[in-house]
Amino acid sequence: MVPEIFIPFHPEDQRPRNGYFIILSGPSGVGKNTLLNRVLQDLSGVYYMPSATTRPMRPGESQLNPYAFVSTEEFEAMIEQGQFLEWKKIHTNAYYGTHLPTIRYAIDNGYDIITDMDVLGCADAMEAFPQHIRTIFITPPSIAELSHRLYGRDSDPVNIEQRLSRAELELKYQDKYDYLIVNDDLDQSAEELKEIIQKIILS
Ligand code: ADP
Ligand code: 5GP
C-alpha cells in the first residue's frame, strides 16, 4: 500500500513560514545517503523525504529507508493519478519519483524536508517550486574514488558500470547548484552539509 503522505510530520516541527525543500544531487555512490544519515541524526525538525522506486532493496535498506519501494504496477498507477512532481527511469530502467502530495503538504505547512534526486529531476523540481527549493551538489574527489566506492557497495559490475557512465552527465550540472561539497573526508563533508542545512533553515 502506498501511503497518502510519505512522512509522519510532528506539529512541533512546524515553522512560521513555508517549508524548504532541500535537494541533494551527485553521482550514485558519491555518498549522498551516507552523509544524509549522519547529518539528520544531529538536526531536529528536518525530515528525510523518501522517493518512490521500483528498484530492489539493497541489504540494510527497508521500507521508506531510503525509498518507498513499490511495484511497477503501483508506480505506473501513481503516474496515472498525477502523484509525482517528477519521475525518471534511471540506471537499470527502474522508476524513481518524487511524491507531490507530500512535498506540497510540507511546503504549505512549514515543514523542512530534504531528499536526493538526479540532476534532471532536480531541474524539474526547481521549475515547479522555484522559491522553496535549495540545492546542494555532492561531488567525488575523483572518478577513481567514485568507482572504488561503487565497487565497495555493490558486487554486480553491470550495475556499477551503469552508475559510472551516468556520473558523467550528473557532474556536468554541478555549477547550477546553490552549494557544492567535495565528499573526500566523510567527517568534514558531514560537517559542511550540516552547516549548509542549518544556514538554509535559519534563513
Ligand atoms: P549514494 O547515496 O550517493 O549513492 P552511498 O551513501 O550509498 O552513495 O555511498 C556509497 C559508498 O561510499 C558507501 O559504501 C559509503 O560507505 C561510501 N562512502 C561515502 N562517503 C565516503 C567517504 N567520504 N569516504 C569513503 N567512503 C565513502
Ligand atoms: P540508487 O539509489 O539506485 O543508487 O540511485 C538512484 C539515483 O536516482 C540517484 O542518482 C538518486 O539521486 C536518484 N533519485 C532518487 N530518487 C529520485 C527521484 O525521486 N527522482 C529522480 N529524478 N531521481 C531520483
| Those residues with Cβ within 8 angstroms of residue 194's Cβ, 6 or more apart along the chain or in another chain | 39, 42, 43
Evaluate whether residue 8 is within a structural domain: no
CA separation for the pair 74, 192 (Å, rounded): 37
Q: Is residue 186 part of a domain?
A: yes
Using the structure block, give the residue that is written with the C-alpha cell 512549514.
Answer: 110
Q: Phi and psi for 125 in degrees, rounded to 5?
A: -65, -40
For 183, what's the count of Cα atoms within 13 Å in the CB-facing half-sphere? 25
Assess if residue 23 is contained within a domain.
Answer: yes
Q: What confidence score (pLDDT) does residue 137 get?
A: 98
Rg (CA), the chain: 16
Report the alpha-carbon angle 55-166-102, nearest 5.
50
CA 115 to chain centre: 3
96 lines ligand 2 (CB under 6 A): yes
The packing angle between helices 119-128 and 157-172, to 10°, is 50
CATH number of the domain within which 36 lies: 3.40.50.300
* Ligand 1 pocket test target in 96, 149, 184 with most atoms within 8 Å of CB: 149
The rounded Å distance from CA 52 to ligand 2 centre is 9
Q: How far is CA 197 from the centre of its chain?
A: 14
Asked whether residue 3 is assigned to any structural domain, the reply reads: no
In the chain, how many domains are there?
1
pLDDT at residue number 166: 92
Per-residue pLDDT of the chain (203 residues; tens, 9 = 90+): 677 888 999 999 999 999 999 999 999 999 999 999 999 999 999 999 999 999 999 889 999 888 999 999 999 999 999 999 999 998 778 999 999 999 999 999 999 999 999 999 999 999 999 999 999 999 999 999 999 999 998 878 888 898 999 999 999 999 999 999 999 999 999 999 999 999 999 98
Asked, for residue 5, whether it belongs to a domain, the answer is no
- Say if 13 falls within a structural domain: no
From the CA of 116, give the closest atom in ligand 1: 2
Region for 117 from its dihedrals, namely left if φ exceeds 0, alpha if ψ lies in -120 to 50, beta otherwise: beta
Sequence letter at residue 67: Y
Please name which of 71, 62, 23, 64 lies closest in space to residue 170, comparing C-alpha atoms.
23
Ligand 2 centroid from CA 162, angstroms = 13
What is the pTM (predicted TM-score) of this model? 0.94
Sheet with 179-182, edge to edge strand ranges:
46-48, 112-116, 21-25, 133-139, 179-182
Residue 33 in any domain: the answer is yes
- Whether residue 180 is contained in a domain is answered as yes
> pLDDT value at position 154?
81
Is 97 near ligand 2, meaning CB less than 6 Å away? yes
CB distance 197 to 46 below 8 Å: yes
| Domain of 108, in residue numbers | 18-201
